[in-house]
Structure 1
Amino acid sequence: MKTDFQFSNLLGTVYSRGNLLFTPDGTCLLSPVGNRVSIFDLVNSKSHTLPFAHRKNIVRLALNPRGNLLLSVDEDGRAILTNVPRRIVLYHFSFKGAVKALVFAPSGRLFAVGVGRQIEVWHTPSTPGVADGDLEFAPFVRHRVYTGHFDNVQSIEWSSDSRFFLSASKDLTARIWSTDPEQGFIPTTLGGHRQAVVGAWFSQDQEIIYTVSKDGALFEWQYMPLPDAPEDADEDDEHMQWRIAERHYFMQNNAHVTCAAFHASSKLLVTGFSNGTFSIHELPDFSQIQTLSISQNDIDFVALNKTGEWLAFGASKLGQLLVWEWQSESYILKQQGHFDAMNAIAYSPEGQRIITAADDGKIKLWDVNSGFCIVTFTEHTSGVTASEFAKRGNVLFTASLDGSIRAWDLIRYRNFRTFTAPLRLSFSSLAVDPSGEVVCAGSIDSFDIHIWSVQTGQLLDRLSGHEGPVSSLAFAPDGGTLVSGSWDHTVRVWNIFARTQTSEPLQLMADVLCVAFRPDSKQIAVTTLDGQLTFWSVSEAMQQSGVDARRDVSGGRKMTDRRTAANIAGTKSFTTVKYSADGTCVLAGGNSKYICLYDAQSGVLVKKFTVSVNLALEGTQEFLNSKLLTEAGPRGLIDEDGEASDLEDRIDKSLPGTRRGEGARKTRPEIRVPDVAFSPTGRAFCAASTEGLLIFSLDNMFQFDPFDLDITVTPATTISTLADQEYLKALVMAFRLNERNLIRRVYEAVPASDIALVVKEMPSVYLGRLLRFVAVQADESPHLEFNLIWVEALLSKHGRWMKDHKTGLEAELRSVEKAVKRVQVELARMADENIYRIEYLMTQPVEQNVKIGELDFAYDAMNEDLDNESMTNGNDGDDGDGEWMGFE
């Protein structure tokens, strides 16, 4: 089994805090998600997460006008410059202070950053390979520092010619600055607001300046003469200055402005309020175009795309991300993550969907390929603790603390069955028979296992035997056996379909936390509270091997811990364990930042995955920083919000010791991995963490494979080889470079008659890539017959090889099968539609047969014309095709 899993995507969280960005073409939206950046393709309905990660949560993003350089800054002012198309980190830099505003100039040569009360303008680093050809030694060169504000700078806006910029601050003022000294220009302060200025913008002709404050006041500034100025004063005269020409107010009851954005070309001003509503006004008339309530909490940020048609809103408290098209009044994107921590995840049997269940009582269905949430179920009234698919994949079962087990139909997206116990219990574990006939659940309130019939919904039986709460349940894949783990230090094996229900207890040394069946139903893996991972034979009821995992899983210390990370007791056990698809490895996670992959036969630790390096979470750092220790204790535990200037920032609604619900602490949540799941194909696994749903995959399209490369293999030589009609060599060279556009160009240039020969001679090392590429093309490309010829050639020429290497090609074969089935369905539907059209036409022959004599006359006249034309052209008029094909 391959173990080189790499981080590929982050689901379950769409927006956390910070600003949103549209790409220059307006088709993609960049959103900060914790310490990572997610990109949502709004046209193709796909999303992906950039591979880099900050050490703290991201607060500001900026994209250069070309759209290829992304600058992201975290809470500590540490910045990362990224090449977006290549997803490569170029430089790391520190601004040495908290950054509140960041924006590139329209020229792309400079960018301005608000660091506290100061504004710093820096030169944009050159793109490697474009300007100088190599990485620069000092890529960040500061142009100038601008001082004058008395409080934090909240926004910066450039003029269209990049000569001037506006800054808005919490000191109730906005200021006009020049990038370089301009003759006759004096930095100007625009004062008059009664609360902090949220934003300031130039009009398109730069004759008007608009400023919006937190209390809902909009001021229109113009360069006008003073009241006592003479009538013949010039624009360059000292009697001219920026003055308020108009005052407008947003009449929102008990709500203040939280964000605002202005689109200069269309003169649209969009403002978001603390009550979850937004409004669109047209300036300078201040005519209201639209008002809509989209959230129950503050709207943190609003952004407009280049054309001004799409509005992006982010609300951090509920994790909402919305893209609204205001002209058609419709949502382009509407996504929301879980409000509380995830508890359980499950892969669908075909591996294309993932279920997440959380403490907020919601169940979300995520599409693996697109990264979007398809549907959300909200029927549970309390936290959902377990979820499992039926074997066929169209039915999902979930267990909740509200005392119910629910069955969901994933075709019609509805809850079709609810199972309850005679007493009110909080269910914590769940198991479904592979045939889908019975469902079992265990509770922390009762020591019995409840069994229901899926068809009737009736309670069939209660299995007694455990002397402690049942923590985990698992059905054997062959459906004959049920195993249960309990806090009474035992694992019991039940044969519930036998005439007499008997249980075989397996004695362990500590509380059982999780049990999992191997796919062949012959072995189970058990994790216990003392950090042991043991493997047991089901048929012999004997322990086969064991692993002491305490050192492997322990890592990371909290701010209140008195001991080092290696000696903390709470992180020394696995709370979840899962087998891989082939049963050779197990994946385990717990209340730490590590996920461990073990070889099931030898017990060797194969690989260790780090869930997060975000220092804003508890339990991610190995050693405490002595610089952050004060006389009153760790600085992170000192309440600094009580000194905040705004009332909403001072209010703390969290309850001490609460881990679930609205009263839980949101500032420094603990890092943990409550559940992991392997993909049925074995090519990926996902993990539910504090930050979201992490997906680790072997199929990374942006991986560069340097093997079999030499200096002669370049895109130019590949194209020249293709021009020489050496299709096999060109295709192999394209796969060596692993450039998708280049592979597609060579792929589509191969003549249909030569496909079988090219496939036959293709080296086996590239067959997996070719099969994967053909599957993607069959799903995306319009060349229907051409793609099917490739599929047929691959299966006929290398079918035996694929059968021998089926384990490593499951994902590719499933993709091909899915694409072929889609083509079959579409062709069948099109054929059915044509049949109905033909039948319809055949039932309408009356009007054509009414005037048969006229048709015969037309037929004779047509033949006469043909004969005359033939004689005129020198032909004899009878070449064997004398019949008119229109009427036989």
Structure 2
Amino acid sequence: MNMEDAIATAEDIDISQESDKKALWEHEQLAQVRIKVIKAHSASVNSCEFYDNDQKILTCSEDKTVKCFNADDGLCIKTYKTKHKETISEARGTPDRSRFVTSSLDKAVHCYDAETGKMHWSGIHAGMVLCCRVSNNGRLVASGSDLDNCLKVWDTHTGQVIHSIEDLHSSSITSVMFAPDDDKVITTSMDRRTMFFDLKTRKVTITLEGHINIVSCCDMTKDERRFATGAWDKNMCIWDIATGTYRSKGPVRLSAAHEGSITCCKFSPDGGMLVSGSCDNNLVVWDMENEIQKIKLQGHSGWVEDVCFSQDQRWLMSCARDQTVRLWNIEDSDKIPIVLEKKRAVGVKIQKCEQCGKPFSLAQLEDHSDITKCVFCRVHSSDLYLQNMKSGLSENET
């Protein structure tokens, strides 16, 4: 690493506290899910996460910057002008909040100091680095690439490569994560497979094959009872890894909710909910106890790139190609009726939305005269990048 690159300058980090950069509330009065919108990046926002006990937000973008926000008001605290020469695909912070790691299409993985913006170390893949993740104990970093389809595991503090497994998959690695105990690294790939790589034995212990298109994302509950994969086949698959019943029965499929390829997914901290994001610009929150759709969230005008829950589960965060980060207040989501024939309550009026065609309940509205759209279709959405996203979606599905 060039020592000049390791020195933070005034051009590397920008501390901004401009009031006009605060998050804006963007929802209608009748909306049962309130929305905060953060608009600070100048290009697609590719990853987002809560950290520092839900007090801050870390994002990265196609504009080659990483930003830190106050979660409460959406104020941009810091903008890190990274050394990457191409799009940053993912940025993840360490549990102690002292550092963050980035991956990029310029084939590099960087580790930065969160306070000063100084780059601690830089590593290289042979191909574009599509994903990265920090271990739960903060000691390791995993990254996956295309071309050589390589999984690399790095020491967070020194940048030393601990594992380098080329051709782990037969195509590009699309996402990577550590198991809750940090004993395995899990990867998904364009080859439609998901693999569990054991860090002690250096062997693949589990290979999952159940999707008919690119597997784009995965997540696991903290108790390791449920494992989820999302794919371009528009399905979420739930695998019972703990008991191994997936070997005989296969996964449980959650389908018919997204009209576009699924791009990201995340379990809630207690494992009771799962959220998926898609190229249809929507998010779906799934009730894992009943394995059914809980709510659909509409508002983005570009592909949803990343999703996550706050630790208190009051907020759901998403980022997208429309250059925005959205915070959805879901603390009252249990009060939103699940629209299913077998769950329809007596006295609840069900109406078909004229925009999305889905049935919705009018039970909780004080005055529902002249309401022809469901609450989510009535949520204001920007038409920014709409035409570009539509054309991109058409190309993706062909």
Same fold (TM over 0.5): yes
Is this contact kept in 1: 2:172–2:191, CA < 8 A?
Answer: yes
Correspondence 1:605 to 2:293: yes
1:682-716 superposed Cα distances (whole Å, 9 cap, x missing partner): 1111111315111112579xxxxxxxxxxxxxxxx
Cα deviation for residue 540 of structure 1 reads: 4.3
Q: Distance in 2 between matches of 1:524 and 1:376?
A: 34
Matched, 1:553 2:258: yes
Q: Is the 8 A contact 2:58 2:69 kept in 1?
A: yes
Per-residue deviation, residues 85-144 of structure 1 (Å, max 9, x unmatched): xx899xxxxxxxxxxxxxxxxxxxxxxxxxxxxxxxxxxxxxxxxxxxxxxxxxxxxxxx
Report the secondary structure of 1:674's partner residue.
strand
Aligned partners of 2:154 and 2:161 also within 8 Å: yes
Structure 2 match to 1:403: 107
1:435 is the counterpart of 2:140:
no
- Write the letter of the residue equivalent to 1:521: E
8 Å Cα contact 1:545/1:603 also seen in 2: no
| One-letter code aligned to 2:317 | C
Q: How does 1:754-765 map to 2 (within 5 A)?
A: none
Match of 1:736 in 2: none
Contact 2:233 2:262 in 1 (8 A): no
Shift of the alpha carbon at 1:587?
0.4
Match of 1:367 in 2: 70
Aligned to 2:364: none
CA 1:418–1:368 in structure 2 vs 1: closer, same or farther (change >3 Å)?
Answer: same
Cα drift, residue 441 of structure 1: 0.7
Distance 1:681 1:349, change over 3 A: farther
Q: Work out the CA distance in 1 between the residues paired with 2:282 and 2:49.
A: 20
Assess, with a 3 A threshold, how the Cα gap between structure 1 residues 344 and 409 changes in structure 2: closer, same or farther.
same
- Say which SS state the counterpart of residue 257 (structure 2) adopts: helix
- 8 Å CA contact 1:475–1:517 kept in 2: the answer is no
Distance in 1, matches of 2:27 and 2:210, equals 42
Partner of 1:176: none
- With the length of structure 1 as denominator, give the TM-score of the two structures: 0.32
In the TM superposition, residue 503 of structure 1 has moved relative to its aligned partner by 3.1
| 1:411 to partner: Cα distance | 3.0
Which aligned pairs between 1:684-723 and structure 2 lie closer than 5 A? 684-689=315-320, 690-698=322-330
Q: Is the 8 A contact 1:478 1:521 kept in 2?
A: no
> Is the CA contact (8 Å cut-off) linking 1:396 and 1:407 kept in structure 2?
yes
Between the aligned partners of 2:303 and 2:204, the Cα distance in structure 1 is: 37
Shift in alpha-carbon separation, 1:594–1:412, aligned structure 2, 3 A: same
Residues 453, 605 of structure 1: CA spacing in aligned structure 2 closer, same or farther, 3 A cutoff? same
Give deviations 1:127-170, integer Å, cap 9, x for gaps: xxxxxxxxxxxxxxxxxxxxxxxxxxxxxxxxxxxxxxxxxxxx
Say whether the 8 Å CA contact 1:46–1:369 is kept in structure 2: no
Task: Report the alpha carbon displacement of residue 470 of structure 1 after superposing the two structures with TM.
Answer: 0.8
Please, what is the CA RMSD of the aligned residues? 2.6
Question: In structure 1, the residue corresponding to 2:203 is in which secondary structure?
Answer: coil
**What is the deviation of 1:523?**
2.4
Pairing partner for 2:206 from 504, 507, 512: 504
Query: Retained in 1: the 8 A contact 2:135–2:178?
Result: yes
Deviation at 1:607, TM superposition (A): 0.7
Q: Distance in 2 between matches of 1:427 and 1:389?
A: 17
Q: Cα deviations across residues 793-831 of structure 1 (Å, max 9, x unaligned)?
A: xxxxxxxxxxxxxxxxxxxxxxxxxxxxxxxxxxxxxxx
Q: Distance in 2 between matches of 1:515 and 1:355?
A: 20
One-letter amino acid matched to 2:328: F
**CA pair 590-461 structure 1, distance change in 2 beyond 3 A:** same
More helix as a share of residues: 1
Corresponding residue for residue 675 of structure 1: 306
CA contact (8 A) 2:41 2:61 kept: yes
Could you tell me how far apart the structure 2 residues matched to 1:388 and 1:432 are?
6
CA offsets 1:656-682 (integer angstroms, 9 cap, x no match): xxxxxxxxxxxxxxx221111111221
Relative to structure 1, the CA distance from residue 698 to residue 447 in structure 2 (aligned partners, 3 Å threshold; closer, same or farther) is closer
Q: What residue in structure 1 maps to residue 42 of structure 2?
A: 339
Letter in 1 for 2:264: T
What is the CA distance between 1:415 and its match in structure 2? 2.2
SS in 1 for 2:317: strand
Which position in structure 1 is the counterpart of 2:234?
531
In 2, are the aligned partners of 1:433 and 1:475 still within 8 Å (CA)?
Answer: yes
The Cα offsets for residues 219-243 of structure 1, whole Å up to 9 and x where unpaired, read as xxxxxxxxxxxxxxxxxxxxxxxxx
Structure with greater strand percent: 2
CA–CA distance in structure 2, aligned partners of residues 608 and 535 of structure 1: 19
Measured against aligned partners, the alpha-carbon deviations of 1:710-736 in whole angstroms (never above 9, x if no partner) come to: xxxxxxxxxxxxxxxxxxxxxxxxxxx
Task: Give the drift of 1:362.
Answer: 0.9
- Asked whether the 8 Å contact 2:254–2:292 carries over to 1, the reply is no
Aligned partner of 1:593 in structure 2 is: 281
2:22, 2:76 within 8 Å by CA — same for their partners in 1?
no
- 1:582 maps to 270
Separation in 2, partners of 1:368, 1:351: 7
Deviation at 1:354, TM superposition (A): 0.9
Match of 2:173 among 446, 453, 470: 470
- In structure 1, what is the Cα distance between the partners aligned to 2:331 and 2:63? 32
Which residue identity lines up with residue 42 of structure 2 in the other structure?
F
Deviation at 1:47, TM superposition (A): 3.5
Structure 1 pair 41–404 and aligned structure 2 pair: CA distance change class (3 A) = closer
Determine the C-alpha separation between the residues in 1 that align with 2:93 and 2:105: 19
Q: How big is the shift at 1:349?
A: 4.5
Contact kept, 8 Å, 1:532 with 1:546, in 2: the verdict is no
Alpha-carbon separation, structure 2, partners of 1:52 and 1:474: 34
Compared CA separation, residues 532 and 456, structure 1 to 2 (3 A) = same
2:97 to 393, 401, 404: 393
- Residues 844-880 of structure 1: per-residue CA shift (max 9 Å, x gap): xxxxxxxxxxxxxxxxxxxxxxxxxxxxxxxxxxxxx
Where 1:553 maps in the other structure, the secondary structure is coil
CA distance in structure 1 between the aligned counterparts of 2:160 and 2:211, rounded to whole angstroms = 36
> What is the CA–CA distance in structure 2 between the aligned matches of 1:420 and 1:685, rounded to whole Å?
33
**What are the equivalent positions in structure 2 for 1:255-404 lying under 5 Å apart?**
337-379=40-82, 380-404=84-108
Tell me the alpha carbon deviations over residues 313-337 of structure 1, each in whole angstroms, 9 at most, x when there is no partner. Answer: xxxxxxxxxxxxxxxxxxxxxx982
- Largest Rg, 1 or 2: 1
Maintained 8 Å contact 2:21/2:39: no
Residue 383 (structure 1) shift? 0.5
Q: Distance in 1 between matches of 2:106 and 2:245?
A: 37
Go from structure 1 to structure 2 and tell me whether the alpha carbon gap of 1:673 and 1:500 turns closer, same or farther (over 3 Å shift).
Answer: closer
Q: Distance in 2 between matches of 1:500 and 1:336?
A: 43
The one-letter amino acid of 2:94's match is A
Q: How far apart, in 1, do the equivalents of 2:75 and 2:202 lie? A: 47
Q: What is the letter of the counterpart of residue 186 of structure 2?
A: V
Question: Cα deviations across residues 593-614 of structure 1 (Å, max 9, x unaligned)?
Answer: 32100022332101111124xx
Equivalenced residues, count: 303
Aligned residue number for residue 331 of structure 1 = none
User: Residue 448 in 1 paired to residue 150 in 2?
Assistant: yes
Rounded Cα–Cα distance in structure 2 between residues aligned with 1:340 and 1:691: 5
Match of 1:480 in 2: 183
Q: Quote the Cα distance in structure 1 between the aligned partners of 2:241 and 2:170.
A: 21
1:244-293: CA deviation from partner (whole Å, max 9, x where unpaired): xxxxxxxxxxxxxxxxxxxxxxxxxxxxxxxxxxxxxxxxxxxxxxxxxx
Structure 1 residues 523 and 590: CA distance shift in structure 2, 3 A: same
The answer to whether the 8 A contact 1:578-1:677 is kept is: yes
* Aligned equivalent of 1:49: 24
- Taking the TM superposition and a 5 Å limit, the aligned residue runs for 1:38-187 are 42=19, 47-52=22-27
AA aligned opposite 2:142: C
Cα contact 2:150–2:173 (8 A) shared by 1: yes
Q: Matched residues in 2 for 1:548 and 1:88: separation?
A: 29
Closer, same or farther: CA 88–520 of 1 in aligned 2, 3 Å: closer
Asked whether the equivalents of residues 403 and 420 of structure 1 are also in contact (C-alpha less than 8 Å), the reply is: yes
